[in-house]
Structure 1
Amino acid sequence: MTMPDLVLRDIHQPATPPWWPPAAGWWWLGAALLAVCLALLGWRLLRAWRRRRWRRLFDDEVAHAGDAAARLAAMSSLLRRAARRCSADADRLQGEDWLSFLDSGLPGAPFTEGPGRVLRDGAFRPSVEELEADAAYPFARTRFLALMERRR
């Protein structure tokens, strides 16, 4: 008995899989990255919205106060409310301790030695210069926003 001649052929590789559509794992990875990007964007938008709201609150309260002493009292009140976010008893500080608290972490000590010093007793003076209140305003506003952004 003779065996028929076997015809052997070369091995053929299967076709390369197409790059599109990607495998399910790539879809999951893309969805996870998209979710992280959207969460970060949402967080940044929320922070920006809060910052605008706090700026508007500060500006409106100070603008609605009448004279310079009333504006200083409004600034001091807002700063004390914001100070409670850092420490529960920070709003009860008085005099130099209050100004030192406001200066903590700031370069140049604008409250103990600079124009913000008027916040110590300016609201209780019989008369306050408009320029003093105007000079303290940007420092108080900046410090208010910084205190509002802090977490306990």
Structure 2
Amino acid sequence: MMFALPAQPPAPSIADLKDIPLPPPVPYTPQTMGWWVLLALVLLVVLWIGALRLRRWWRNRYRRAAQKELAAIEHAMADPSQRQQALAAVPALVKRTVLTWAPRDTVAPLSGEAWLGYLDRTFAGERFTRGPGRHLQTLAYGGADIASGDTDALMTLLHRWIDDHVPA
């Protein structure tokens, strides 16, 4: 009996190499319906928040206009020749600001202590009847010039009031 030696395998050759199959491409879009629902909900929430912010921005446009006019009045008060005229414009600005959101028949006839009391109800505390806001009454009727420190306190109060008042 003769034993045959196993045949030598042929030497490997580059021609014998086979291509490695690539996996199928993975899509970047979600495959299940749950992800589409989640995407829709997130978009709805983003749109809702955007709409609320836009509405708030639109409703506060009178505040931005009042702040801009108050800054112009403060700038005019720096000039001594325009100080009296600028101070006289302050009470009118406050009244116009209130009339943008309050009923005209309720607010327009108010003057004196009733007007200052109404302003106190729109802002926390008694800063108009007992604080620097009391000078509005003097300025509304062309009263004497108020001191520089009182003017600064009044302007600070009005800036805060314009930003933070709550319509009564």
**Counterpart code for 2:124:** P
CA distance in 1, matches of 2:36, 2:57: 31
CA contact (8 A) 1:62 1:75 kept: no
CA contact (8 A) 1:78 1:144 kept: no
Select the residue among 87, 90, 95 that pairs with 2:103: 87
CA shift, 1:120, in A, is 0.7
Aligned to 2:70: 58
Name segments (4+ residues, structure 1) moved above 4 Å: 51-54
Correspondence 1:22 to 2:37: no
CA contact (8 A) 1:81 1:91 kept: no
CA shift, 1:97, in A, is 0.4
CA contact (8 A) 1:103 1:111 kept: yes
CA distance in 2, matches of 1:146, 1:74: 21
Aligned residues: 130
Q: Which has the higher contact order (CA 8 A, sep 6+)?
A: 1
State, as a whole percentage, how many aligned pairs show the same letter.
30
Select the residue among 43, 64, 74 that pairs with 2:89: 74
CA contact (8 A) 2:132 2:150 kept: yes
Structure 1 residues 136, 86: CA separation in 2 closer, same or farther (over 3 Å shift)? same
Q: What TM-score, normalized by structure 2, do the two folds share?
A: 0.61
Structure 1 residues 62, 46: CA separation in 2 closer, same or farther (over 3 Å shift)? farther
Aligned to 1:130: 148
List gaps (5 residues or longer) in structure 2: 1-29
CA shift, 1:61, in A, is 3.8
Secondary structure class of the residue paired with 1:21: coil
CA shift, 1:144, in A, is 2.6
Q: Which of 1 and 2 has greater Rg?
A: 2
Q: Deviations over 1:42-76 (max 9, x none)?
A: 53366458354542233224433521x43332221
